[in-house]
Amino acid sequence: MFDLFNGLPVHPLVVHGVAVLVPLAVLATIAIALRPAWRTRYGHLVVAVSAAGTVLIPIATQSGEALERRVGDPGEHAELGDQLLWFALPMLILAIALVLLERRRASGADSIRPAVFKAVAALAIVSSVACAVQVYRVGDSGARAAWADQVTSP
C-alpha cells in the first residue's frame, strides 16, 4: 500500500515529514515542560504536531519495508526505524498529560500538587531527549544506508 506514489517510492517522501515533525515536537514538548504559561497557549498545537509526527512513523516504516523489497536490506536503519514509535508515543502521551493537567489547574476544578507538574514535566523532557536521540540515530543510519556507497571523501 505504501510502496509508490506517482512512480516514486513513498518512503523518502514520508520520512521528510517524520524528520521535520518529530524534532519539532521534541523542541515544543520541552518548551511547554519548561514554560508552564505556554501550555495553555500552545499546548494544543504541540500535541497536534506530536500526534502528526507519531502517525507518520508507522507509514514511514511500512513504506520502508516496501522500499527494502525493491532495493535491498538497509541494515541497522530498519531496526532503528521500527523502534522510533516507542520513543515518540511516550513523548506524545506526556505532552497530552501536561496540557490536560494545566487545563485542570486553570479551571480550578481541583488542586494539583506542583510536584505532579514537575514530575510530568521532567518525564516529558527525558522522553523528548530520548526521542531526539533516536530520530538522529534513525536518520544517520538511513543516510548511511542510502549514500555511503555513493559519496566518497576527498
Asked whether the predicted pLDDT for residue 52 surpasses 70, the reply is yes
pLDDT recorded at residue 68: 87
- What letter would DSSP give residue 110? S
Rounded mean pLDDT, 92-117: 88
Task: Tell which wins on pLDDT, 128 or 148.
Answer: 128
Q: What is the mean pLDDT of residues 100-119?
A: 86
pLDDT at 43: 97
Task: Tell me the C-alpha distance between 53 and 151, whole Å.
Answer: 30
113 closest CA partner among 99, 125, 101: 101
User: How much is the pTM?
Assistant: 0.90
Share of the chain above pLDDT 70, in %: 96
pLDDT, position 110:
67
**Per-residue pLDDT at 152 exceeds 80:** no
> 149 pLDDT band (50/70/90 cuts)?
confident
Q: With contact defined as beta carbons under 8 Å apart, do 51 and 21 qualify?
A: no
- The arithmetic mean of pLDDT across residues 67-82, rounded, is 89
Please give the pLDDT value at position 88: 98
